[in-house]
Structure 1
């Protein structure tokens, strides 16, 4: 299989239950076999998604979302322009070339021959559900448009153009729509015309509204006056009504206040103040007694503490000795352990030095030269030796790889030369030129037919224009009758004037005028009407002549265009190497032959370029072999030199000379480490001896000071230190307690003096308060306080009530009582207030309604007086009519263009149909073993397929399900074959389409698919073992998919095939 598009490798990173799954496909016939739920439909959906994008949310089809992560994958395809790698993650797509350079996404569309997703899924990748139906292939939109656009080559955007025209026309106008722009304009125009019809009886309505406005003004003024009067009276009486309760309470309080004496000078809050002073006096006496008791207890405790205190100089000396011991206590306790640890570490170092294998003791180890410079020299030699050995190994590996690459390239060159010898010598440029000429020839033949149709239409138009004739208008009306009537009227006037006198003559003159004036006016109107008819007839004649000249000119230009088209058609036919009048079938055969020759020529060019590249690679591989051999020899010499230098360095340092570089470096590091440990041990032993000497001096001083104060009784030094610390703490606690007791005694003495002063001040305050209240005892003071409190309460209530009455009514209490009595008392006042409260809202509502009616009437009159609505509506009507005419013109253009495109597509289908139907007949005859001889489409607008049997014709509905599916499969294969010959071979993907076929017809179908696989890659899916056996009989490469839940790599079971690369499947 050569040319076209071919899937070579797919990698599923996340899709459905597949994750990190890799599968390699081969040219020709491939079968993916597995049980139910193994993922066959999932892989078909993955291939469709990788080529055209993953399905979006909201679609009815399954979206195959993975459980973890997003939908993503990689597809390696081989196209006519070279290998491509397609990567998709969610909505992101990347197209790469063989070297990993990112390309434009349009390169994938070019490799797919610009087919749409729906065309590919209906014709090139389908299952049993799509196979059993023919509606989507035969309907006007969708697949039919895509097939037409694909057949025209240059009309790839035809489906989008038709959809755009339909959408734009629908946006302009719909018969039953409301939202399209033209519908809205027509609706607005109708509304404007209705409003114009409503503006005819406005004068009478104007005067009626004016009279109504005057009446409303008078009624509004009267209602306003009544409302203001009612509101003032209601406000005054409401204030009096609100003050009724306060006035009655004020009268009662005035009577009680008159019986009480004047106690305004009595001290405020006298009783609480007296009680507070007495209570504070009692508290001060109790607190004084408690302070006296505390002072006695403090003095009793101070005596024993003073007698138990040590001398100050002995305490300081003991504390200094104990502090020195405490500072070295941890060091003293650690001395035995440190000594044991040092001895153990020295033994470890001795054993480690013996294990090194060097013939030296500890002192000899210290004498060795193990400095940084010597170590750096050894490390440098080891690193250089390791690097040289690595370079030697790399040179050996590069030599083997270069020799293998050279052999592979030489083998590839031999294969390329053999394939080139089998291909003919043809020029791709000449074949492309013939293909271009053949395509231009098809378009010119279509244009010739269009020119002939337009010429016939214009001839018919010219004949119809010449047949149309309009009679000339008659002569103008004669003025003789008018002058005759006027003369008779004048004679009648003269006769009456002569016979009847001046009065009768005046009346006769008036009658003559009434008779003559209408005659003259009628004659003038008839003359003007005749003149307008004559001008209109002359204008129509001029337009008719102009139309005849325009149609004749268009006919002449069409004749010239036809001659030019014939000339261009003959030139294109000569370039294409065919006759200008060859039938469509002959042109299709020539086009198929040219396509095959072009593929061979392009293959020859590709093989030439590939051979040059391979030859250059072979030369480069030879140079790489020579370079690798030279590098290996250099590396070997360097390794020998460095090993000699290493032996000299080891001998000079006392190390064995036969050690390797790495072993010598490790021994060097171990010896240096043991030497470092030995030096550290010597330093630590000297520090331990100094610490032991210092601790002995501190312990002797502590024993001496403890003996002086009577504490050195036997026991360990730790026990002695504990006794000294306890004694010092007790001494410190006694000193702190004595200081606390002295401070406490001073505070208590000061508090006792303060309490005495406060008690005397409280006693004086009680005497002053009794004198201010006019009492000589506490009981009499309390009685006068109760009377003063009631007097003050009544005074405040009276003042508050008078203020409330004055604030509510604006009057004093006496004037308010007089006003209430003037209204007839409280009951009559409340009745009057209730009446006014009912009347006020009624007047307010009426006034509000009158204001509204008055404003509306006045606004209406003002609008009518300065109204320009009629002129505005006329202007709006003209504007809407112009807009409607413009939109109607645009709508007509879009509909006309859409009709022309549909007409061109149907003509193309009629001309192209014989090729596709012929191939479908051949395939269907082979599939049914000759039972049905022919497939055809009846004449007319029907798009139904029909088949011819032995006796009669059959429709698809009259066939069995399996035969009907074979018919639709034959049609699809015919479309695929025709598409591959004209545009390029695309892969065919089928999912279990043979389950309704009997074994014989299934075998015949597989033979047809096997022949088709020589030009198209075929990828089939099935779960039936008997179908797998049939595929194997046709030489198909079989890939076994694991059952759901297993995790094994896909297994190839292909005749003579090589197992693919290792791959991993994770099925959930």
Structure 2
């Protein structure tokens, strides 16, 4: 099975998505994470095996998220060349409804399970359609159906396998016998030894018992010898009886040999004479019958010809029919005339229809024009203003509205400047008041200084020198302190004066800006009032003042547009009316021309048919029918000629067959058929006698037991008589009776010895012990035989297992090993499955084995991928191949292993259809580099499939 196309109606994120033609064995689909690759993989699974329900393992049923009916279809091509469409849709069942449609006549109806070759969902999802998660999960290869194929050793041991059987045999042998004790045989031998000791203790006449035992053994040997004599005697007696049983066949054999001699020599018939004679006679009779039938058919054909000519009419004779031209020329001429007449007739009808259509169209255009003129006169008795003028006024209103809005914003900015000016004036007043508070106490230090100088002068005049000097120093210090204080106050006053000047500058600047704004606002307001006056608005104070004018102009513009549209339609209607009138005139001219052409072609046909002596009212179709009838009569004439030739051929065949019969009689040397038949009877009798001789001989060979024994038996039969055999039979019977009598006597003596031995065995306990001993001996013998069988079987299986592990592995393991060697570049040469444990081991190039627990993740994924490829190859040898779908299984491979794995998959896809889904652009490019044009490439983007790679 190969998927040759698919379509998703609704499944998860997909709606109306698919690939119509998938004619390449390898398809690579590239899509980002979340693009829907896993959903696409699940769609293929669901289409073949049904939607998943709550109780089904795996992802949900992927209800449509983007519209569409839940499901879709696959177009598949089977290995036998038939094609089908598998349609999966939602239904009451969880898995949905499925229908199979054959796409060609060679595709019989089939069940889906038949198309799938009986494959299960587990097989498909874990081996044929899998993602990286299934590849990494060892449990996916542990399903019962997969395990049976992967690990069956082919030894015929069923599901247990050779190691299980060997282990069971060894366990059974150990339970039967082992040296350390504790086994079944060891227990029986211990019990037997104890029983024999008990019997010896219980016997009071051990020596007599031993003597009786010896006699018992001797008599048993004598009985055995007598039994051999009895068998020999019975064998001789059986031979005599075989001779007596063969005697009637022997007599018949001798009688047939006598008859053979009596017949003597018979002239040999030619080779296969009887068969040739019978065939020649049958041929002669057949030719006679053929001649009769051919004559009757020729007469019937003549009657058919006469009737057919009469049906054509009185003027039609066989001679005229035979010479009438029914070939291609008159048929072509009639067909051509019929075609032209039909064309001109159709052209006339078409032209008449065109005239009617043109007339209807002209009436419709006139009605449309009149309706528009009536609408114009009713709705527009006075034309509205010109649309361009109205639109100019609207543009002016729109500019005025924008100007009014801008003017409002400018007034807002002026108000803001007024606020900033008031704030600056407040700063000037506050700073001025602060400056004045610092200037008032500035004269006090000068008065104090003057007073101190006066006091110092008085002290000096009073000759208080020291005091005056001290006071002068104090006065100097005080002066300097006062001076420094005054300088600091001067600096503060200067700073405040500067800040006052700055604030006054800001006030002046704002006053200038406010004045300029007032001037600009006044000028713009005047311009705006001028525009408003055009529309009856003397003063425009806000945008809302312009709204009534804007509304009125909008209505005028709408009316102007409607009027313009009506004028345009009226102009178009008048043009259409003129065009329709021209079309009507042209259609009427075409009708006249078509009518004239038809009459011309009809006259041409009548002129052609008149010389043929046919009715001039005969149409081309009727003429063609007449030609067909004439041709059928000509065929009858041809058939009549053929049947006349058949009569002639039958006459010649009869003469040839009669001559062949006479040739056979001459070869046999017989004068006539009577003598030939007598000759045949003699030869038949001779053959019958020989057959009987062979038959009796075969019976006697069987009775003798073979050809060699028959030779000896023949000599015995030839050398004796039935009377002698009867005597020998009596003597043999007597010998057998005598030997049997002697054997009976010996058995009687054996019974006597046995009775005496039992008599010597005292008490019930001795008898029970003896019985126990015999039973234990028998059980020990049986256990020993069973132990031998177990040990021998275990040894043979061990040898076979060792040979198998060295030389043979299951086909799947061998195929998987070959794939692993290619993927790893020869680093690992093959896989080996241990029969005793069932474990897989990887063998390196050097022969070293690596167990499962030593595999890293990369090697594990490479081995599990190889196992699936091997399984698929083995499965498809005996079952319908299924498509292989992989979802990013190379994601964890390094570049070298990925390169070799891709090459392995490209080679694999030459035999098995493969679809590879990936989110890695480099993987897709590697596929394209290795597969080239032998593969198809798609990109999955925005939940759509696009051809090619980015």
Shorter-chain TM-score range: 0.3 to 0.5
TM-score, normalised via structure 2 length: 0.33
Structure number with larger C-alpha Rg: 2
Alignment TM-score, normalising by the size of structure 1? 0.30
